Amino acid sequence: MEIRSIPSQSQCAAVIYAVIELPEQYPKVSPEVYLRRHRGIDERNADILQKSIQEYIEANTDMPILYDIFQMIQKFVETGQDFPCTVCPVCLDGFSAENSVFCTLKCDHHIHQNCFIRYVNYTEDEIKKELGEWPEDMKSKVDQVLKCPICRTPLNEQDLSAVSRGSIILDEGTVNKEKFEFNWEEWRAKLEELQPIFERQKAKGGLIDLEEERKRYLISDDIVFERRLVVESSQQKDLEAIEYVKNLPSHSSHQFLDRQKCKSKRPYSLFRRQNRNVGLKGGPSKERFKKNRDEDDYIPISMVTSGGNHPEVFDE
């Protein structure tokens, strides 16, 4: 169930989504109440409300207290929240009574009106810049929808109406730079603390370069030319290898091809050319082979015993 306050100029339109589980034995068994998706309310105040509801449930067992729980949440939302307790998602500054001009978007997120105007103007400029980098037939793929800076929900016309309405007071609501004091020492200390983490993530490739990612799948003339050179170089090497094999002597070329077959996990293929008739009909050949040191080749032992053409045979 959604419980929200009535928006006004002096109050924040805070929202709480309450989930209530009613058991079958209610009211003898107390209900369970959970607070979800609270907008304009920080975690500390939400925990205070949750604790108050739980204490009220424990103090009123065996009683119908469902309506009382609704009233507790409604009273807290309407009277306890004059301005959002969260921070602005753009400037990361909190909301206060002095700076109470803020916008409530359709998704119930709050943002300073001046920050919202700057956010919309900046996003529109970025979209125009990105459209200028894409060709005409690819511009439809660019996301041109303005979205909430927190939950990325698309903004409607009512949300964007605050831009035209608040553009007049943009200069008036600007923070006075003379009163602004930045703690440079704290900032430098924090920067030194985070520098080792930055270097470690950079070394592991954990940082994303937006410019490189944008051009990751972009095909240019230089890329096509480089790939063409790689293909031509590979083809030239293949032709040189084929020409080299053709120019080898016949005996050397046979040995070259036989060694290539040995490398392809077929060790006995080099005997098939010279000894095709070696073998038994009933099964695989049981011939033993000797190495001929003169011709760097293998011959069957039967050729040695039968007076073959090989004068010397040496065991391996």
Span 70-114, pLDDT tens digits: 888 878 777 655 566 677 888 887 776 665 677 777 777 878 888
| Mean predicted lDDT score pLDDT of the chain | 69
The per-residue pLDDT for 222 is 64
Residue 245 has a pLDDT of: 67
For 272-285, how does the pLDDT look when each residue is reduced to its tens digit (9 = 90+)?
444 444 444 444 44
Is the confidence at residue 193, as pLDDT, over 60? yes
Q: Indicate the range of 74-88, 121-135, 183-197 predicted with least confidence.
A: 74-88
CATH node for 2-79: 3.10.110.10
Report in angstroms the alpha-carbon separations of 302 from 287, 290, 292.
8, 10, 14
Can you tell me which residue has the tokens 């511009």?
A: 139
Mean pLDDT computed over 126-132: 86
Please tell me the distance from the alpha carbon of residue 291 to that of residue 301, in angstroms, as a whole number. 10
Query: 305 pLDDT band (50/70/90 cuts)?
Result: very low
Sequence ranges of the domains in the chain = 2-79, 110-181, 183-217, 250-305
**Can you tell me the distance from the alpha carbon of 147 to that of 154, in angstroms, rounded to the nearest whole number?**
4
CB < 8 Å & 24+ apart, contacts of 13-16: 13/40, 13/104, 13/108, 14/38, 14/39, 14/40, 14/41, 14/77, 14/81, 14/84, 15/39, 15/40, 15/77, 15/108, 16/41, 16/46, 16/49, 16/73, 16/77
Q: Looking at the whole model, is its pTM more than 0.85?
A: no
Identify the three-state secondary structure at position 174: coil
What whole-number distance in Å separates Cα of residue 290 and Cα of residue 182?
89
* Predicted pLDDT of residue 297: 54
**Highest mean pLDDT: which of 28-42, 172-186, 288-302?**
28-42
Beta pairing class for 15-21 and 2-4: antiparallel
pLDDT of residue 61: 82
